[in-house]
Structure 1
C-alpha cells in the first residue's frame, strides 16, 4: 500500500508544479518509502544527476552572462572612454577589445602576443589597455613606470614600454628602470620623477574602482564588444568572439 502511494506521489511530484505536492501531508512511513523510491530511481538512472548538474551549470552561466551584460552597459563610459587608458589598434574599429592586465601575470604574458596578432590580423579592432596591478609591488612599480613614460614622452612612447615590461622578469629596481628608460630613449630622470605623480595615482585608483564594480579580481580580463571574458583565452577563441560580436558567428 505504501509503495503504491509513494509511486503515485512520485509521479505527481515530477509532473506537477512544486506547490501542488505536499510532502508534509505524508505519514512518516510514506515519507520514508518515498525517499527510498527516489534513491532507488537515482541509483538506477545516475545519468539524471549529471543532467541536473549540467542544467544547473547552464542556468548559472546564463545568469552570469546576463549580469555581465548589464554591468558593461551600466559602465560603458568608464570602460570604453575613460579619457586616460591607452588606445591602440584601429581607433575607429567596429569592435573594441579592452584588457585589464598586470605585467607580472603569467597569463597576461601568454596573451600578449596573441592579442597583438588578433589586432594586427583583423585591422578593425580598437584595443584599450587598462593597467590593473594586483600582483604585488613589482606589478605596481611596472605600471607606474609605464604611465610615467606616457606622461613624459607621450602616446608613442607608451607602447614600447608596455611591450618591454610584459616580458621582464627582473626586479624593478631603480638601476633596472634607468636602463629600460635609456633603451626606450626616454629621459630616465624625468620618468623616475613622475612615477608617483598624482595623475598616475588617479588613473590606477579609477581602474581599480571600475574593476571592483565589474567584479574583476583576476588578470587578464577582457571586454570584447559586449562580452566580458574572465581569464586567458587563446587566439582562435578571441577570433570567434569577435566574429560573433560582428554577427558572423
Structure 2
C-alpha cells in the first residue's frame, strides 16, 4: 500500500504534469518546507475537486490510445503487402470490394465462432467487402489440425471448397484428428485422400508460420483479431460495431 507521503508525491507529479507545467519546472528548486506546503495545497485542492483526477486520467488514456493508434498505423504500413496481399491466404466476400477486412482466427475459439456468424451476415448484407482469412491456430493440437486441413483444402481444391470446409469446422463440436478429418471433408463435399500428404507438408507449415510471424509483428496475440484498412482491432466485435466501423471508413 502506498503511504500518504508517496501518494502526495504521485498526485503532485500528476497535477504538475497536466495542470501546472510552470510549477513542475521549479519543483527541484523548492526547499523542503516549500515542497511540503505545495503538497498540502495540492492535496487540499484534490479533496475539494476530485474530478480533476478523473480529467487527468482521461488525458492519460487519450494519449495512450493515440500513441497506440500511431504505432499500429506504422506497423500496418510496414507490413501492408503481407497483410492484404500475401498470395496464400483465402480471399472471400467481394475480391474487388472497396474495403478489406482481414481476420485472424482459430477454429476452436468460441469468440471466433461467434464472429463467424456475424461476418457471414456482414458479407451477405454488404456486397462490397473483401475478406481475407489468416489461419492462426493458437489453442492446441485440434486448432493446428483444423488449420492444416483447411489450408490443405485451399491448396488442393481452391476457394469454394475452402469456404465450405471453413463453415463446417466453425460449427463442428468434436475433436479434429485423423479419425474425424475424413468425415469433415465428406461433409464439405470433398475427398480426404488427396489432402493427407499435404497436412504435414512444408507448404502448409510455411503458411501457418508466415501468419504466426505476421501476428507477432502486429502484436496480435489472441483470436479473433481484425485489420480493417488502417486499424487493428484485437478481440471480438459484434456485428453492429463492425457495420459502424465499415461505415466510418467509407465516410
TM-score, structure 2 as length reference: 0.89
Cα contact 2:16–2:23 (8 A) shared by 1: no
CA RMSD in angstroms comes to: 1.9
1:148-163 superposed matches below 5 A? 148-163=152-167
Cα contact 2:100–2:129 (8 A) shared by 1: yes
In structure 1, distance between residues paired with 2:18 and 2:125: 53
In structure 1, distance between residues paired with 2:58 and 2:168: 43
Which residue in the other structure is 1:198 paired with?
A: 202
CA-CA distance at 1:54 after TM superposition: 0.9
TM-score, structure 1 as length reference: 0.90
Q: Deviations over 1:36-79 (max 9, x none)?
A: 11111111111111111111001111111111111111111001
CA-CA distance at 1:29 after TM superposition: 1.6
- 1:47 correspondence with 2:51: yes
Cα contact 1:72–1:226 (8 A) shared by 2: yes
Q: How many residues align?
A: 237
1:60-139 superposed matches below 5 A? 60-139=64-143
CA-CA distance at 1:12 after TM superposition: 9.6
Instruction: After superposing the two structures, state which structure 1 stretch, 191-200 or 119-128, moved more.
Output: 191-200
Which residue in the other structure is 1:147 paired with?
A: 151
- 1:26 correspondence with 2:30: yes
Larger radius of gyration: 1
In structure 2, distance between residues paired with 1:234 and 1:12: 41
CA 1:164–1:49: 2 relative to 1, 3 Å: same
CA-CA distance at 1:26 after TM superposition: 2.1
CA-CA distance at 1:20 after TM superposition: 6.7
CA 1:199–1:19: 2 relative to 1, 3 Å: farther
Which residue in the other structure is 1:3 paired with?
A: none
Which residue in the other structure is 2:181 paired with?
A: 177
Cα contact 2:105–2:133 (8 A) shared by 1: yes
Runs of 4+ deviating beyond 4 Å: 11-16
Structure 1 gap ranges (5+)? 1-10
Out of 220, 245, 249, the residue aligned to residue 216 of structure 1 is 220
In structure 2, distance between residues paired with 1:86 and 1:12: 53
In structure 2, distance between residues paired with 1:198 and 1:53: 50
Out of 211, 225, 229, the residue aligned to residue 233 of structure 2 is 229
In structure 2, distance between residues paired with 1:227 and 1:13: 30
Secondary structure in structure 1 of the residue aligned to 2:125: helix
CA-CA distance at 1:212 after TM superposition: 0.8
Secondary structure in structure 2 of the residue aligned to 1:175: coil
Cα contact 1:130–1:207 (8 A) shared by 2: yes
CA-CA distance at 1:19 after TM superposition: 7.5
